[in-house]
Amino acid sequence: MSLLFSIPFQFLAVAAETEAADSSLVLAGILLSLVVVYFASKLGGELCVRLNLPPVLGELVGGVVVGTSVLSLLVFSESGATADNSLIIKFLELTSSLTPDTAESVFIAQSEVISALSELGVIILLFEIGLESDLKELIRVGPKAAVVAVVGVVTPFVLGTLGLVYLFHVPLIPSIFAGAALTATSIGITAKVLAEIGRLSSQEGQIIIGAAVLDDVLGIIVLAVVSSLVKTGEIQISKVIFLIISAAAFTIGAIVLGRFLGPILVRLMDNMQTRGKVLLVSLIFAFILSYIAQVIQLEAILGSFAAGLVLAETSKQAELEEQIIPVADLFVPLFFVCVGAQTDLSVLNPAIPENRAGLAIAAFLIVVAIFGKVVTGFAVFGKEQLNRLAIGVGMIPRGEVGLVFAGVGAASGALDPATQTAIIMMVIITTFLAPPLLRVVFEKDQPSVTLAENPQEPSS
Amino acid sequence: MSLLFSIPFQFLAVAAETEAADSSLVLAGILLSLVVVYFASKLGGELCVRLNLPPVLGELVGGVVVGTSVLSLLVFSESGATADNSLIIKFLELTSSLTPDTAESVFIAQSEVISALSELGVIILLFEIGLESDLKELIRVGPKAAVVAVVGVVTPFVLGTLGLVYLFHVPLIPSIFAGAALTATSIGITAKVLAEIGRLSSQEGQIIIGAAVLDDVLGIIVLAVVSSLVKTGEIQISKVIFLIISAAAFTIGAIVLGRFLGPILVRLMDNMQTRGKVLLVSLIFAFILSYIAQVIQLEAILGSFAAGLVLAETSKQAELEEQIIPVADLFVPLFFVCVGAQTDLSVLNPAIPENRAGLAIAAFLIVVAIFGKVVTGFAVFGKEQLNRLAIGVGMIPRGEVGLVFAGVGAASGALDPATQTAIIMMVIITTFLAPPLLRVVFEKDQPSVTLAENPQEPSS
Contacts of B302 in chain A (CB under 8 A): none
Q: Per-residue confidence at A129, pLDDT binned at 50, 70, 90?
A: confident
| B60/B124 same-domain check | no
What whole-number distance in Å separates Cα of residue A179 and Cα of residue B344?
A: 54
Distance CA B289, CA A259 (A): 46
Q: Do B347 and B277 share a structural domain?
A: yes
Please state, in angstroms and rounded to a whole number, the distance separating the CA atoms of residues A110 and B198: 47
pLDDT at A21: 40
CB B17, CB A78: distance < 8 Å? no
Same domain, B14 and B100: yes
Mean per-residue pLDDT over chain B, rounded: 78
Inter-chain touch B230–A7, beta carbons under 8 Å? yes
- Give the angle A79-A81-A87 at the CA atoms, nearest 5°: 125
- Residues whose CB is less than 8 angstroms from the CB of residue A248 and which lie 6 or more positions away in sequence, other chains included: A221
Q: Are residues A225 and A255 in the same domain?
A: yes
- What pLDDT sits at residue A13? 28
Q: Is B327 on the interface with A (CB under 8 A)?
A: yes
| Amino acid at residue number A85 | N
Band (pLDDT 50/70/90 cuts) for residue A236 is: low
pLDDT of res. B3: 28
pLDDT(B449) > 70: no
- The answer to whether residue B450 is domain-embedded is no
Residue of B nearest to A4 (CA): B115
| Inter-chain CB proximity B113 and A118 less than 8 Å | no
Dihedral (CA of B262, B264, B267, B273) sign = negative
Report the residue of chain A nearest B332, measured CA to CA.
A276
- Residue A363 belongs to domain with CATH number: 1.20.1530.20
> What radius of gyration, in Å, describes the C-alpha atoms of chain A?
23
- Split into its structural domains, chain A has a count of 2
Cβ within 8 Å of residue B315, ≥6 positions away? B266
For A51, the closest chain B residue by CA position comes to: B273
Tell me the one-letter amino acid at B286. Answer: A
Looking at the structure, do residues B266 and B194 belong to the same domain, yes or no?
A: yes
Residues B230 and B353 in one domain: yes
Domain boundary among A64, A89, A117: A117
ipTM at complex level: 0.78
Residue A196 has pLDDT above 80, yes or no: no
Tell me what the mean pLDDT of segment B217-243 comes to: 67
CA separation for the pair B376, B454 (Å, rounded): 24
With an 8 Å Cβ cutoff, is B283 touching chain A? yes
Last residue of a domain, one of B112, B143, B177: B112
Cross-chain Cβ contact B329/A295 below 8 Å = no
Residue of B12, B27, B283 lying closest to A119 (CB–CB) = B27
A interface mutation test: which of B5, B35, B277 has the most A CBs within 10 A?
B5
CB spacing of B412 vs A49 below 8 angstroms = no
Cβ within 8 Å, pair B272-A46 = yes
Q: How far is A427 from chain B (nearest CA, A)?
A: 19
pLDDT of amino acid B211: 82
What is the rounded distance in angstroms from the CA atom of residue A440 to the CA atom of residue B321? 43
User: Which chain A residues are closer than 8 Å to B15 by Cβ?
Assistant: 413
Give the pLDDT of residue B368. Answer: 94
Over its C-alpha atoms, chain B yields an Rg (Å, rounded) of 23
User: In angstroms, what separates the C-alpha of A53 from chain B's closest C-alpha?
Assistant: 11
Residue A333: inside a domain, yes or no?
Answer: yes
In A, minimum Cα distance to B229 occurs at A11
pLDDT of residue B54 exceeding 90, the answer is no
The answer to whether residues A216 and A133 touch, using CB atoms and an 8 Å cutoff, is yes
Measured in degrees and rounded to the nearest 5, phi and psi for residue B185 equal -70, 145
Within-domain flag for A456: no
User: Which residue in the set A1, A14, A231 is minimally distant from B10, CB to CB?
Assistant: A231
Comparing alpha-carbon positions, the chain B residue that sits nearest to A340 is B4
What are the distances in angstroms from CA B92 to CA A151, A291, B26, B450?
41, 10, 10, 58
Q: Do B230 and A15 touch (CB under 8 A)?
A: no
Residue of A397, A419, A429, A331 lying closest to A61 (CA atoms)? A429
CA distance B71 to B424: 19
Q: Highest mean pLDDT range out of A44-53, A108-117, A235-244?
A: A108-117
A413 with B15: Cβ contact below 8 A:
yes
Residue B53 near chain A (CB below 8 Å): no
CB of A411 within 8 Å of a chain B CB? The answer is: yes
Shared domain check, B207 and B76: no
* Average pLDDT of the residues in B204-218: 74
**What's the average model confidence in pLDDT over A125-142?**
70
Q: Is the dihedral of CA A426, A427, A430, A433 positive or negative?
A: negative
Question: Do the domain assignments include residue B455?
Answer: no
Q: Do A90 and A180 have their domain in common?
A: no
Shortest distance between the Cα of B385 and any Cα of chain A, in A, equals: 37
Q: Which helix (H) or strand (E) holds B111?
A: helix B100-132
Residue-level pLDDT at B283: 96
Kind plus residue range of the DSSP H or E element containing B139:
helix B135-166
Instruction: Mark whether B105 and B125 lie in a shared domain.
Output: no
A 228-267 residues with CB < 8 A to B: 228, 230-233
Measure B446 CA to nearest chain A CA, in Å: 30
Which residues on chain B are in Cβ contact (under 8 Å) with A32?
287, 291
Cα separation, A222 vs A233, in Å, equals 16
Predicted confidence (pLDDT) at residue A1 exceeds the cutoff of 80: no
A287 shares a domain with A251: yes
Give the integer Cα–Cα distance in Å for A367 and A384: 29
**Do the domain assignments include residue A231?**
yes
In a domain, A370, yes or no: yes
Q: Is residue B132 part of a domain?
A: yes
Assess whether A36 and A146 both reside in one domain: no
Confidence label for A203 from pLDDT (cuts 50, 70 and 90): confident
Q: Which domain holds residue A92?
A: 7-117
> For B414-456, where are the alpha helices, taking DSSP H only?
417-443
pLDDT at A394 exceeding the cut of 50: yes
Whole-number percent of chain B with pLDDT over 70? 76
pLDDT at A83 over 50: yes
Point out the residue among B4, B274, B407 whose CB comes nearest to the CB of A46.
B274
- Residue environment code for A335-363, b if the CB has 16+ CB neighbours within 10 A, otherwise e: bbbbbbbbbbbebbeeeeeebebbbebbe
Q: Which residues contact B84 (CB under 8 A, 6 or more apart)?
A: none
Q: Which of B80, B112, B144 is the last residue of a domain?
A: B112
Residues contacting residue B13 through CB under 8 Å, at least 6 positions apart: B20, B21
Q: Does B116 touch chain A (CB under 8 A)?
A: yes
Beta-bridge partner residues of B450: B202
Phi and psi at residue B202, in whole multiples of 5°?
-70, 165
Could you tell me if A33 and A74 are in contact, meaning their C-beta atoms sit under 8 angstroms apart? Answer: yes
Is the pLDDT at B460 greater than 50? The verdict is no
Q: Do A5 and B408 touch (CB under 8 A)?
A: yes
Q: Which residues of A fall within a CB distance of 8 Å from B279?
A: 326, 329-330
Q: A112 and B115 in contact by Cβ < 8 A?
A: no
At residue B123, φ and ψ (nearest 5 deg) are -65, -45
> Mean of the pLDDT values across residues A129-153?
76
The answer to whether residue A340 is domain-embedded is yes
% helix / strand / coil in chain A, to the nearest 5?
A: 75, 0, 25
- State the pLDDT at residue A304: 86
Both B81 and B136 in a single domain?
Answer: no
